Structures are given as structure tokens and as C-alpha cells.
Amino acid sequence: MHEMSLAVSLMEIIRQEMDRNHATRLIAARVRCGLLSNVVPEALELAFEAATRADEALDARARRVLVGAALEIETEPAVLRCTLCGREFCANERGGLFSPCPACGNQCGHKVVSGTEMYLHNLEVI
């Protein structure tokens, strides 16, 4: 369950950003996950909720409220490069890493250009 550790690192970034901007309440956090990041959105949502509750007392002392915030997860396509012809293309949801190259049809050994990462896109705070 790597979603829990993702949620914990997400929280660290969120708390830093909130303090930097003197924000007191988190309304929503928007993250983007690459198609090949292996993040299960439902699991990340649960982990996020648990992570907001875990440090509720600490947040209260720091005058921050994170409990009740929404997590919005967007999936971004992965970009692959065909090792046979060099064409770069977007992987589709079903084929993932083995999506056929639109130029030559090759299905294996693609190099991953992007799509394995997860990052915080923006925060909605008060």
C-alpha cells in the first residue's frame, strides 16, 4: 500500500505551502498522476483522509484545518518512445506500457518519457 506513504509526503508539502501562504483551512488538493504511476485513486483518497486526521491535534496547534478537505485526482497520459522507430506517442489507458506504436505497431520495449510521476498540481485554501 504505497498510497499511504504518498499521502504522507503529500501532507508534508501541503502543510509547508499552507504555512508559507498563511492559509488556515484546506478546501481541496489537486494532484496529477501519470498513467504508469501505479496510484490507485480510491486507495489514495482513503490514505489522504486518514493522513489529514492523523495529525489533527498538531494542525490545531499550528492553526491549520485539513480534515474534510477534498482530494481531486487527475490522471495524465503517459508518453512513450518507440525503441524501433523513435516515435513518441501517448499510451492509452488499456495498453499502458504495451500500447502499440502508431507508426510501426511495435508493442514492446518502449522507453518511458513521462507518466510515472505524481505531483501536487494546486491547492484551494482559505
Give the interface with Zn ion as residue ranges (CB under 5 A). 82, 84-85, 87, 101, 103-104, 106
* CA 22/CA 93 separation, integer angstroms: 39
- Smallest separation (angstroms) from Zn ion to the CB of 28: 40
List, in sequence order, every residue forming a beta bridge with 123; answer none if it has no partner: 29
- Smallest separation (angstroms) from Zn ion to the CB of 112: 15
- Nearer to Zn ion (CB atom), residue 28 or residue 84: 84
- Nearer to Zn ion (CB atom), residue 106 or residue 114: 106
- Nearer to Zn ion (CB atom), residue 70 or residue 103: 103
Radius of gyration of the chain (CA): 18
- Smallest separation (angstroms) from Zn ion to the CB of 40: 30
Q: Which residues contact 91 (CB under 8 A, 6 or more apart)?
A: 35, 36, 77, 78, 79, 80, 97, 99, 110, 115
Buried b (16+ CB within 10 A) or exposed e, 25-37: ebeebebbbbbbb
3-state secondary structure (DSSP) of residue 113: strand
- Smallest separation (angstroms) from Zn ion to the CB of 48: 38
- Nearer to Zn ion (CB atom), residue 68 or residue 86: 86
